[in-house]
Amino acid sequence: PRYVVQIGDKVIDYNEDFRLFLATRNPSPFIPPDAKSVITEVNFTTTRAGLRGQLLALTIQQEKPELESEKTKLLQQEEEKKIQLAQLEESLLETLATAQGNILENKELIESLNQTKASSALIHQSLTESHRLQTSLDQERDAYLPLAETASKMYFVITDLSKINNMYRFSLASFLRLFHRALQTEQ
């Protein structure tokens, strides 16, 4: 089949895989209602919570880098444990599905079930310990939360200055550079 679109009085061929991406700096562009049904709008505007998290990570990276790396390592280990647990469950179901004869008399199956149960218990114990450590790390991180919250509010006040005069426009990147420089000079 031939795909065409009519623009004015011209008929133009188009590819079925054609995609059009439009970008604007306007945080709330006007999109007509009939166009909204066929358009996917993606808003990349910075939110207060998102900026607060970013500033908190920057602060901790500057003040206590070992805390941030430990949290990242814990999250990776937790994901690995969850994957192991899912694999154990899958192998258990596969073993049960392929079992021949009476399940209760199959010694290999019972041994496999016991090993799976022991491994699962160890993984659950490890996950519980990981959650406990993560909670203590989050409490340490929360000591820097007021700084991140204040800096986040300051950024949004600065962005509102552009409503007074267009000369007061500041990018997020320049604000983050200033924030990082302030953290470095504070030491």
Contact 57, 179 (CB under 8 A): no
Pick from 184, 187, 74, 80: nearest CA to 137? 74
Give 112 or 11, the one with higher predicted confidence.
11
What backbone torsions phi and psi does residue 26 show, to the nearest 5 degrees? -70, 120
pLDDT at 186: 67
DSSP type of residue 27: S
* Residue carrying structure tokens 């805390």: 67
pLDDT at 27: 76
pLDDT at 53: 92
Rounded mean pLDDT of 24-29? Answer: 81
The domains of the chain are located at 4-36, 48-186
For 73-100, give the DSSP string: HHHHHHHHHHHHHHHHHHHHHHHHHH--
Radius of gyration for the chain, computed over Cα atoms and rounded to the nearest angstrom? 28
User: By CB neighbour count within 10 A (0-12 exposed, 13-18 middle, 19+ buried), where does 137 fall?
Assistant: middle
DSSP type of residue 23: -
Q: Tokens in use for 118?
A: 């022991």
Per-residue burial over 108-130, b = 16 or more CB atoms within 10 Å of its CB, e = otherwise: ebeebeeeeeebeeebeebeeee
Judge if pTM exceeds 0.75: no
In the predicted model, what is the mean pLDDT of the chain?
87
- Give the pLDDT confidence of 116-131 residue by residue, as tens digits: 888 888 888 888 888 8
Q: Round to whole Å and give the CA distance between 17 and 15.
A: 5
**Residue 88 pLDDT class (50, 70, 90 cuts):** confident
Helix H or strand E segment including 165: none
**Residue 187 pLDDT class (50, 70, 90 cuts):** low
